[in-house]
Amino acid sequence: MERTVYINGEYVSESEAKISVFDRGFLFADAVYEVTAVLEGLLIDNHGHLERLERSCRELGIKLPVTSEELTEIQKTLIEKNSLIEGGVYLQLTRGCEGDRDFSYSDDIEPTLVLFTQERALINSSYAQKGIKILSMDDLRWKRRDIKTTSLLPACLAKQLAKQSGCDDVWLIENGLITEGGSSNAYIVTADDKVVTRPLSNDILHGITRASLLQLAKDFDIEIEEREFTIEEAYEAKEAFVSSATTFIWPVVSIDGKTIGSGKPGSLATKLRDIYIKMAIDTAR
């Protein structure tokens, strides 16, 4: 069964959607993206994702051809057309295409907007139940990781290496400190039950799930420390976990072959996952 996808104002079958070989998204990864989770057919934390999209566009001078309200309508139409209950809506906006390959571009270049749905089991995920194994490695990305661009080659290579090493994902390290996961924000829990995560800066993506989680933690009197932490501190942590729109929260049970805590998903990570999912659905209704 072919999905219906959205491309530049039209809803078409996935095999009919075509992009020019000269599109700057294809040639230069000159593009931004967002992924919004879908639970029970509802868009989760979507407001935050669309706000971040606007910010990414502003930072790069990419024109957003539709309003946030129009984007939400497109997302909802795709969910309906594809009968999506659980998974996500992927959105990509490229700077556009001017008919030949050229590093520079004109002011009136027209952007390319593409959205499609992806079906995925988010609630009954074996990774959520068993936890994930992490491999740490050097963070080789550029210096504006706060902008959500499609320049994801370092993440692809790092995640592939993790997979080949029998791990599920990576944590990235810069100057001895964890920046974030390959496609997630990273957290540890200290012996006295404080949740530690790196503060926001240009060094990490400002996760929308992270923002919701920090708010939730406040509401539930869970103490958060926004500070940098080393890989050595992570090895010794009581718990560790990651957050993103496609995982919500996944517990981390080992890092570089070293068991974290009991080697089972931690109780704080599990609790945060449960309350996040409940809150996210309630808010989306």
Q: Which residues bind ligand PMP (CB under 6 A)?
A: 180, 183-185, 205, 207-210, 243-245
Q: How far is CA 114 from the centre of its chain?
A: 17
Find the shortest distance in angstroms from Cβ 176 to ligand PMP. 19
**Cβ neighbours for 202, distance < 8 A, ≥ 6 positions apart:** 143, 144, 145, 146
Q: Distance between CA atoms of 129 and 28, rounded to whole angstroms?
A: 38
Find the shortest distance in angstroms from Cβ 90 to ligand PMP. 11
Which is closer to ligand PMP, CB of 47 or CB of 264? 47
C-beta of residue 104 within 8 angstroms of C-beta of residue 61 = no
Pick the catalytic residue from 63, 130, 133, 148.
Answer: 148
89: nearest Cα among 127, 58, 48, 118: 118
Which is closer to ligand PMP, CB of 205 or CB of 237? 205
Which is closer to ligand PMP, CB of 222 or CB of 245? 245
Find the shortest distance in angstroms from Cβ 262 to ligand PMP. 26
148 catalytically annotated? yes
Q: Distance between CA atoms of 53 and 77, rounded to whole angstroms?
A: 19
Q: Distance between CA atoms of 256 and 34, rounded to whole angstroms?
A: 30
**Cα–Cα–Cα angle for 272, 125, 140, rounded to 5 degrees:** 80
Which is closer to ligand PMP, CB of 260 or CB of 280? 280
Find the shortest distance in angstroms from Cβ 185 to ligand PMP. 5
The catalytic site residues sit at 148
